[in-house]
Amino acid sequence: MHPVLLDWRGIRIHSYSALLYLGMVFGLTAGNYMANLAGLDPLRVLVAMLLLTIIGLVGARLLYVAIHWRLYLQEPMRIWRRSEGGAAQLGGLFVMVPLSVPLLHALEIPLLPFLDISTFTLLTALAFGKVGCLLNGCCCGRPTAGWLSVNSPNRLGLWRPRIPSQLLESAAAWTLLLCAAVLWSQRPFPGAVFMAGAAAYGFIRVILQGTQETQDVLMGINVQKALAGVLGVLATGGLMIGLTASD
């Protein structure tokens, strides 16, 4: 729709970058607020979130590169070319969570309460970022003649009435954010907010991935659907274990 948000006197701001930046700023602000509510050191939490944000961006890029490995095998210098874009956000999550364990240990921050806090940061960033995807034309929905459609382009600039996949995922993120806020004061154990949110998002993403025009398939496997399904199953298992232990 509007891949370039501002182009003035040589200053060019891309829509996706701007919305992602806003999402991270508001997400970190939300995380800082929740850290105060949880009684954790907000400065240490902020440092951890900033470092994990960088790790997550790298992980998201690396998964995208892995999916499109044939392209980058021929031109490896394009891997870190920021102007091209390209990221698979689930790759960031699957890197962030394991690496958060040693990082949080070093910063003396308890893991499970931090994960609950990070739920608000991640969902806020996702909610804004997906609007950026819509403006940029990436992650677009497949063409449809149904009533649930938005006239929008893909990355090639081809305009069609499409399923608004990006808006649906943004709406899902806002809904999960509201649910996380409600669950916060009633969480049965530390980590329950994160696990419930991750489980719900994983299964929602499996459904919404099927609405997208382009599917990332590697060795016959739909990578995004598979990772989303794994996330949903693992988070559900963790939630069940936590509920059993807290009884």
Give the start-to-end residue ranges of the domains of the chain. Answer: 4-246
| Residues contacting 37, CB < 8 A, separation 6+ | 184
Q: What is the pLDDT of residue 62?
A: 84
Q: What is the pLDDT of residue 178?
A: 97
User: How far apart, in Å, are the Cα atoms of 30 and each of 45, 121, 204?
Assistant: 11, 6, 23
Which pairs from 22-29 meet CB under 8 Å and 24+ separation? 22/128, 23/124, 23/125, 23/126, 23/127, 23/128, 23/129, 23/132, 24/53, 24/125, 26/124, 26/125, 26/128, 27/120, 27/121, 27/122, 27/123, 27/124, 27/125, 27/128, 28/53, 28/121
- What pLDDT tens digit does each residue of the chain (247 aa) get? 676 766 677 777 777 888 888 999 999 999 999 999 999 999 999 999 999 999 998 888 888 888 777 777 777 776 676 555 667 788 889 999 999 999 999 999 999 999 999 999 999 999 999 988 888 878 888 899 888 888 888 877 788 899 999 999 999 999 999 999 999 999 999 999 999 999 999 999 999 999 998 888 878 888 889 999 999 999 999 999 999 987 7
* Euclidean distance between CA atoms 103 and 95, whole angstroms: 12
* Euclidean distance between CA atoms 138 and 141, whole angstroms: 9
Tokens at 37, concatenated: 């509510």
Helix (H, G, I), strand (E, B) or coil at 152: strand
State the pTM of this model.
0.90
Phi/psi region, residue 85 (left: phi>0; alpha: psi -120 to 50; beta: rest), is left
Please report the sign of the dihedral spanned by the C-alpha atoms of residue 224, residue 229, residue 234, residue 236.
positive
Q: What is the pLDDT of residue 126?
A: 93
Where do the DSSP E strands lie in the chain? 4-8, 11-14, 150-153, 159-162, 217-218, 221-222
